[in-house]
Amino acid sequence: MKAHSSIVILIMQVFHSHLHYNFAKLEKVDMHPRQFPMLKIISEYPGLKQSEIAEKLRIKPPTVAVSVKRLEKAGYIEKKHDDHNQRISRIYITDTGAQVMELGRAIISEEEQTLLQGFSPEEIALVREYLQRINQNLTKQNSLI
């Protein structure tokens, strides 16, 4: 790879490799790699509304709606009406979803070990710091659009 390759191109290549890896691993449980972060949020914050999930993941509500339907159909999550307002649906992970989460965590851990192979702890800390800054910059820029 050329030393002067665009950082944006490199990030896109890493993302593509990440998706390819996760497609192969997650297809065993009939899950799209982009659904895993949603399942993780639902697991960590039981009882969220779809709009709250969209906010936490910084994605559009219609995207959440499609993924929620798929995850619900797969038996990974369930919707329950709010106790105080029956018009509000809250989303919870099921036991099956929790099992898939454990598999997903193992996949992420395995992938992280692979992609950080040969890095020192100091380099890993720097990579994390740089990626967080890149993410903050993009988040700030996106809020202006």
For every one of its 145 residues, what pLDDT tens digit does the chain have, with 9 covering 90 and above?
Answer: 556 679 999 999 999 998 888 888 888 777 888 888 999 999 999 999 999 999 999 899 999 999 999 999 999 999 999 899 999 999 999 999 999 999 888 988 998 999 999 999 999 999 999 999 999 999 888 877 7
Flag whether 16 is in a domain: yes
Flag whether 127 is in a domain: no
d(CA 79, CA 100): 18
Nearest of 47, 35, 52, 13 to residue 104 by alpha carbon: 35
Host domain of residue 101: 7-118
Flag whether 21 is in a domain: yes
Q: Is the pTM of this model over 0.95?
A: no
Flag whether 73 is in a domain: yes
Flag whether 144 is in a domain: no
Q: How many domains does the chain have?
A: 1
Q: What is the CATH number of the domain that holds 23?
A: 1.10.10.10
Flag whether 27 is in a domain: yes
- Which residues, listed in sequence order, are joined to residue 78 by a DSSP beta bridge? 92
Flag whether 1 is in a domain: no
Token pair recorded at residue 100 = 């898939």
d(CA 124, CA 54): 29
Flag whether 72 is in a domain: yes
